[in-house]
Structure 1
């Protein structure tokens, strides 16, 4: 069976660039381009062919996938299992910073936190035993947020062994209470602290411990947490110093190189999970 790689949220931005790169670097592999609609996925492939006419991208196939839909996840798993038997690499790239301009939309937690958990758990049963790779696209901003919170919450976020999904749900509910002006138990970063207090930052800080615990509990798979960097994509309104292709290369790096499971990387270099905002 062919080597199979699935990239979620891949019809544009960093995911698109990762698919494009992996298609060229691993021509014998099948690269599955996850997209919420088949039409958008096919349009992405046509864009690749136009931008790089020397490659035909015939090894790229569209998989319709919405990570917030359990039925969509189930259908995608069934399709990949019946067609390819196993999945060698899952790159969970889907994520949002806002919804329709709302930086406090519940959809941010639904996609970035719950969607990540549900996607990784859905595909775990079909990962190739002993050699399967899970790449979770996080962000260095999660480390910035973890560094900025109060000591009690910070200790909880870094206590990987004690992390449970129930704790993650509790953190989200407590943060939401703070965001709505209520009295929270945790010493969260206030919303008025610029971007550091944002829901996007906290979403990455809250899902990182769960993915790290997943890596501990699933020693049969190799797990890389990666940061693409601050790239010029639709999410950043194209106002960022790094090209999207650099982000794509960063999240594809664990597929092409050796790495230590459970660690955090950007451009192949290890990051910390509680590093302060660069001066």
Structure 2
């Protein structure tokens, strides 16, 4: 069977660029373009063919998948298993910063945190034994959030041994209580602190501890957390200084290179899970 890679959230932005790049770098592999809409996925492939006519992209296949739907995840995994037997690499890229202009929408945690957990849990059982790779796209903003939050809360986010999914759920609910002006147990970054106080940044700060715990307790999986960098995409209203293609290159790096499992990478370089907020973001 051919080497098979699934990239979720791949009909546009960084995911699209990742599929486009990987399809050309691994022409003998099957690259599954995850998209909630089959039409959007097919349109994305047509766009690739038009922009890079030297490659026919026949090795790219659309896989309908909605990571917030358990039935959709199940159907997608069953299709991969029946068609390709195993999955060699999962690149979980799906993520949102708002929905319908609402930066506090419940879907942000549903997609960025719960969706990541459910996607990993669904596809991990069909990974190719010993060599299977899981790559989850997080963000440096999660590392900034961890470094910025109150020290007492930071200590809990960094206590990887003590992390559980129940705690992650509790953190999400506690953050939402704070955002609604209710009493919260933890001292989260206030909403009035600009970008770093956003639910998007909080989602990445809350997701990273679970990713680290998963990697530490599933040593049978080669697991990488990656940051695409601040790229100009629809997610940030095309404000990022990096092109989406650079982000695509960054997130496919673990599929093409050796890496240390459980680490955080950007452009192939290891990053810390807690980083001081840069001056431009303060």
Is TM more than 0.5 here? yes
Partner of 2:230: 230
Partner of 2:276: 276
Partner of 2:116: 116
Partner of 1:180: 180
Give the whole-Å Cα distance in 1 for the aligned partners of 2:73 and 2:269. 31
Partner of 1:150: 150
Partner of 2:211: 211
Cα deviation, residue 239, structure 1: 1.6
Give the whole-Å Cα distance in 1 for the aligned partners of 2:68 and 2:57. 28
Give the aligned length.
279
Partner of 1:55: 55
Give the whole-Å Cα distance in 2 for the aligned partners of 1:165 and 1:270. 25
Give the whole-Å Cα distance in 1 for the aligned partners of 2:22 and 2:139. 21
1:1-279 to structure 2, matched below 5 A, reads 1-279=1-279
- Give the gaps of 5 or more residues in structure 2: none
Cα deviation, residue 163, structure 1: 0.7
Cα deviation, residue 151, structure 1: 1.3
Give a deviation string over 1:187-217, Cα, whole Å, max 9, x none.
Answer: 1111000011000000000011111111111
Give the whole-Å Cα distance in 1 for the aligned partners of 2:76 and 2:165. 24
Give a deviation string over 1:92-147, Cα, whole Å, max 9, x none.
Answer: 00000000110000000000000000000000110111110000000000010001
Give the whole-Å Cα distance in 2 for the aligned partners of 1:96 and 1:148. 22
Give the whole-Å Cα distance in 1 for the aligned partners of 2:186 and 2:209. 16
Q: TM-score, normalised by structure 1?
A: 0.99
Q: TM-score, normalised by structure 2?
A: 0.98
User: Runs of at least 4 residues of structure 1 off by over 4 A?
Assistant: none
Give the whole-Å Cα distance in 1 for the aligned partners of 2:147 and 2:131. 33
Give a deviation string over 1:45-84, Cα, whole Å, max 9, x none.
Answer: 0000000001000100000000000000000000000000
Give the whole-Å Cα distance in 2 for the aligned partners of 1:99 and 1:210. 24
Cα deviation, residue 28, structure 1: 0.7
- Which secondary structure state, in structure 2, belongs to the residue aligned with residue 116 of structure 1? helix
Cα deviation, residue 150, structure 1: 1.0
Give the whole-Å Cα distance in 2 for the aligned partners of 1:240 and 1:201. 15
Cα deviation, residue 183, structure 1: 1.1
Cα deviation, residue 240, structure 1: 1.4
Cα deviation, residue 277, structure 1: 1.2
